[in-house]
Structure 1
Amino acid sequence: MLKRELIDTAQIEDGVLLKLYSHGRDFMIVLGRNELMSTRMRFSEEQLAELTLAKLGKDNPRILIGGYGMGFTYRAAAERLGEQAQIVIAEISEKIVEWARGPMAELTGESLSDPRLDLKICDVAALIDDANDGTCEKFDAILLDVDNGPDGLVRDANNRLYSRTGLAKARDALKPGGILSVWSAAPDPAFRKRLKDTGLDVEERGIRSRPGNKGAHHIIWFAAK
């Protein structure tokens, strides 16, 4: 019977340690007892990109992805977008990117060399602020998958993303017709209400973690400006 093998750890901030494990050919990133992501269950994260871009209906948008993780959302977006698209990724940990280029290089392939990619090691909230103060161009879509849902699981500071103030900032960082999409491992009626309170047109969609209607039940909220 195969056992999980610890490959490496990443210190995010005081008291927050992410662990990268292998299990046969699969990888998983774990925080405490929470499995944040796994190569076995990627479908809903890919759908975060697929469904957002289908709703957006643009070949060459400027999008912001909060959290690189294992790159499932990013690669799904890159496969769909045109040559003039701009894909900005905010990843808080340099070590996550090192894992993508190292132990998970076969999974990553050449995707991090894509000329459309602007990968930044920073808090996604900082890029949302930059779009609001004119430091950078606004986005056609903002895709958030930085926690296991709309609460600061990985970092307490992430709670501001899901607050009324944070959601209003995300709304204002969107271009007209833009979409804010948020991935979650479970429903959250209070968060859905906060989204609606920002004046965005909100759709909640249940997505399975594996193709063929298999795996865990996840949630994606799509909030259109």
Structure 2
Amino acid sequence: MAPVSPSYETHPAAGPQEAPRILDRRQGPYGEVVLRARGGTPAVYEIIANGCFLMDTSDGRSERLLIDAALSELPPGRTRPAVLIGGLGVGFSLVRAAEEPRWGRIAVVEREAAVIDWHRTGPLSAVSAAALADPRTEILHTDLVAYLRDGAGQDAFDALCLDIDNGPDWTVTEDNGSLYSPTGLAACRDRLTPGGVLAVWSAQPSPAFEQALRNAGFSGVRTEEIPVVRGVPDVVHLARKGA
């Protein structure tokens, strides 16, 4: 089982907060997922998976950076690049991609039916309704690790923007750990077009993951940081597939 982060009331980036209100709680094939809200109008929404705080709608800078940095890393002159976003979450990455007219296809892989429902017909539609209605957007209800692993001969993308864990060293479920293994990184590389970009969100820097990316044949490996209120910065790990 993955490590369990503190609840939001004691989350290191948050400080003291009022008790959150539970809006929905579901048991699925990967464990329990919970949607919570705190505050008034607009409320701040939080997603908890198996007791592990994943994300909320209070900021979103690092989720937006995930998309922007991947686009900036692409080779010059690439038109209408296709992006695969791993994890719908609270929708910030999808919204950022849909706001950018340079992107072509925007595919989002999300394994939790509850999260998709919260966006389509629930409270998170306030965040993502316009992005979901964008004709470039496609929601794929499946497990990202399996989607990448079983994708031989299927669609390739110019960018993979992955945000399904608290980072390579802090996964939500044990199965997710294989995504950051040599086999998982090879599957990511195989799903990228020549010169394509892999961007991975993390709640903390991981020098070991940077080395794993180099060992997997990626070039241009680097890390961009986003400061947070307390604690170590959020980061986006970036790497390119050879041309």
Q: TM-score over 0.5 for the alignment? A: yes
- Structure 2 unaligned spans of 5+: 1-16
CA displacement, residues 77-115 of structure 1 (integer Å, 9 cap, x when unaligned): 1111337x0011110011101111312222223221211
Whole-angstrom distance in 2 between the partners of 1:188 and 1:157: 19
Match in the other structure for 1:207 = 226
Measure the CA separation in 2 of the matches of 1:97 and 1:141. Answer: 22
**Shift in Å at residue 194 of structure 1?**
0.6
Q: 2:47 aligns with which of 29, 37, 40?
A: 29
Stretch deviating more after TM superposition (52-61 or 116-125)? 52-61
* Count of residue correspondences: 217
| Shift of residue 62, structure 1, vs aligned partner | 1.2
Q: Deviations over 1:55-89 (max 9, x none)?
A: 22544111111100111111111111337x00111
Give the Å deviation of 1:32. Answer: 4.9
1:149 to 144, 167, 188: 167
Gaps of 5+ in 1: none
Match of 1:38 in 2: 56
Q: Percent identity?
A: 36
Higher strand fraction: Structure 1 or Structure 2?
Answer: 1
For the residues of structure 1 that align with 2:51 and 2:166, how far apart are their CA atoms? 12
1:169-195, Cα deviation, whole Å (9 max, x unpaired): 111211100001100001122211111
1:1-225 → structure 2 map (5 Å cutoff): 2-13=18-29, 16-24=31-39, 25-56=43-74, 57=76, 58-82=78-102, 85-101=104-120, 102-131=122-151, 133-134=152-153, 136-151=154-169, 153-201=171-219, 202-209=221-228, 217-225=233-241
Equivalent position amino acid for 2:36 in 1: Y
State the alpha-carbon separation in 2 of the partners of residues 59 and 51 from structure 1: 16
SS at match of 1:109: helix
Q: CA–CA distance in 2 between the matches of 1:186 and 1:173?
A: 25
Give TM-score scaled by structure 1 length: 0.88
Give the CA deviation at 1:205: 1.3
- SS at the partner of 1:7? strand
